A and B are shown apart, each in its own frame.
Chain A
Amino acid sequence: MDRTGVILIMGLMAYALRVVPQVLLVGRRFPEGWDRWLRCLSYALICSIVAMTLFMTGGRFESNAAPRRVAALAAAALVAHRTQSPVAGMMAGTALAAVLGWLG
Chain B
Amino acid sequence: MLFSGRRFGQGMRAAVPIWIAFVPSSIAWGIAAQTHRLPLAEVVFMSAWVYSGPAQFAVLGPLSEGRPALQVLITGFLMNLRFLPMSAGLAPYFGGTPRLKLLLASHFVSASSFIVPYLQFQKEASAAPSPPGAGQRNLCFFLGVGASSFLVWVAGTAAGYGFALSVPPGFEEALKFILPGYFTGLLAVEARDRTARQICLASLVLAVPAGAASADWGWLLSAAAVATAGWSLERWIARASS
When the two chains form the complex, which single residue of A7, A47, A55, A65 contacts B42, counting CB atoms closer than 8 Å? A7
Q: Flag if B208 contacts A55 (CB, 8 Å).
A: yes
A67 at interface by CB-CB < 8 Å: no
**Which of chain B's residues have a CB closer than 8 A to the CB of A99?**
170
- Among A25, A47, A87, point to the contact of B92 (Cβ < 8 A): A25
| CB pair B135 A27 closer than 8 Å | yes
Cβ of B181 and Cβ of A98 under 8 Å apart? no
Number of interface residues of A (CB under 8 A): 82
User: How far is it, in angstroms, between the C-alpha of A72 and the C-alpha of B210 when the chains are bound?
Assistant: 22
Main DSSP-derived SS at the B contact region: helix
B132 within 8 A of A: no
Tell me the minimal C-beta distance from B174 to chain A in angstroms.
4
User: Chain A residues with Cβ under 8 A from B82's Cβ?
Assistant: 45, 49
Does B99 sit at the interface, judged by CB under 8 A? yes
Determine the distance from Cα of A17 to Cα of B49 in the docked complex, in whole angstroms: 13
Sample of 13 further A-B pairs with CB below 8 A, known A76-B181, A90-B182? A1-B69, A7-B45, A10-B72, A10-B77, A13-B73, A21-B91, A25-B92, A26-B95, A40-B228, A44-B223, A59-B211, A61-B212, A86-B17
Q: Name A residues whose Cβ lies closer than 8 Å to a Cβ of B.
A: 1, 3-11, 13-15, 17-30, 33, 35-56, 58-61, 65, 68-69, 72-73, 76-81, 84-91, 93-95, 97-102
Subset of 7 A-B contacts with CB under 8 Å: A49-B54, A49-B180, A51-B211, A52-B207, A52-B211, A77-B188, A81-B188
